[in-house]
Amino acid sequence: VVYLPEGYWRNPLRQYPVVYMQDGQNLFDPAVSYAGVTWDVAAAAESLADIGRQPIVVGLYHGGRRRIREYNPFAHWRNGRGANYARFVAETVKPMIDATFRTLPEREHSALLGSSMGGLISLYTYYVYGETFGRCGAMSPSLWVAGGAILKMAPAPRPAGGRIYVDNGDQEPGAQRLALLLEQAGYTPGRTLRYVVGAGEGHTEAAWARRLPGALRFLLS
């Protein structure tokens, strides 16, 4: 599903940044979202109107019961197929979106964002396809998968223009170690790295929805 910002059709010369979000079922429509709770993505996107950075949002639906396998990029752990998914997003979905809509196609205007397993695959795709995606949001990422294999990728030097948002609620396992590794890799807190802990929040769609406006503002400003 593709969300176009307010005024897209009234401004035929304007181009927009793009956010590729995992778990597309949970973004807009309560009829298909988990537990009937959405991320209210339209409102979060339009909250950036004051800085002129409302994004096009591409909601990528997961494969239902195959979700964990689809979002797990490590083949040695439970036969993950996430590497194929990441390649599909980078080499098929993004070129199609850039060809169809008025995007700002450069990496600094192209972001990935997801939560839980969606946060994990967003991080992996950012690391492997850094020439394509320059921004990444990982909300409550599943860092435990494959014995924390994603953490072995975190020390990679920050690419030029690279920016990462990471968060978790204080009622769930934290991502402090990831944030520290990113800082050691050259990300600057407050500028190219933001780590947020949601007070009183757990591993829920509602918590991610509350933190989404701030995540988008950091990634796209």
User: Minimal CA–CA distance to 168: which of 157, 158, 178, 153?
Assistant: 178
24-37 pLDDT per residue, tens: 999 999 999 988 99
Residue 50: what pLDDT?
97
Residue type, 70: E
User: Minimal CA–CA distance to 125: which of 104, 147, 146, 110?
Assistant: 110
CB atoms closer than 10 angstroms to residue 153: 15
| Eight-state DSSP code of residue 110 | E
Residue type, 169: G
- Contacts (Cβ under 8 Å, ≥6 apart) of 59: 1, 2, 3, 21, 24, 25, 27, 28, 41
Q: Is 0.85 surpassed by the pTM of this model?
A: yes
Q: Give the number of domains in the chain.
A: 1
Q: What is the rounded distance in angstroms from the CA atom of residue 137 to the CA atom of residue 114?
A: 6
Residue 5: what pLDDT?
98
Question: At 165, which CATH number?
Answer: 3.40.50.1820
Residue 77: what pLDDT?
84
Look up the domain containing 39 and give its range: 2-220
Residue 34: what pLDDT?
85
User: Minimal CA–CA distance to 123: which of 76, 171, 73?
Assistant: 73
Residue type, 13: L
Q: Show the low-confidence residues of the chain (pLDDT under 70).
A: none
Residue 63: what pLDDT?
85
